[in-house]
Amino acid sequence: MLPVLVHVAFLATPIALAIVWLSRNGARPSSVTDGTIRVLTGCAAAVAVFLVPFMAFACHCGAGNNPVRQTIIPAGAALICVAGLQSRRARWLAWASMLIVSFALAWHFQRLVLPADLKACRFTGDPTFVANSCDRAIEVGWAWYTPITGLHPLLATVVR
């Protein structure tokens, strides 16, 4: 349960950082042109924060075993921060932080669903491809954190 709680807390980090940074350093754009540039820059930053870690940790082992939620949440926070923060330095700091958080989340997700030792499997991201996460016959469960993290707990060994 502890790895999941750590993962949920880590998923909340980009949202919390975005709220704190925007409350302290947020400002409206001075003109429509400035606002448009900020939004477009935020979109480019979000694409980078999503794609780079996703491509680094993507696998051909079931669609649910790819870290989609783990890269979308920091990407959305990066878009909001880059578009809403006033200083250029704060925007760069927010973007870099979200990129690091996105990498860390994607890595942690992959370690949970694809452990080095397939006998120590406890979670899967895709119930239909559970054999990629575990070499035993396992029953896939659902928990309160499944919609948030995409992690399905593996409950018990099923005798075939």
pTM of the model: 0.81
By percentage, how much of the chain surpasses pLDDT 70? 94
Taking residues 33-61, report their average pLDDT.
87
Higher pLDDT, 25 or 39: 39
Computed over every residue of the chain, the mean pLDDT equals 83
- CA 57 from chain centre, in angstroms, equals 11
Is 6 a residue whose pLDDT tops 60? yes
Residue 158 binned pLDDT confidence (cut-offs 50, 70, 90): low
Q: Which two tokens stand for residue 82?
A: 């880059």
pLDDT score at 1: 66
Secondary structure (DSSP) of 87-139: SHHHHHHHHHHHHHHHHHHHHHHHHHHS-SSGGG--EES-GGGGGGT-SS-EE
Is 3 a residue whose pLDDT tops 60? yes
Taking residues 70-75, report their average pLDDT.
91
The pLDDT tens digits for 104-139 are: 999 988 888 887 777 777 888 888 777 666 777 778
User: Cα–Cα distance between 121 and 140 in angstroms, integer?
Assistant: 11
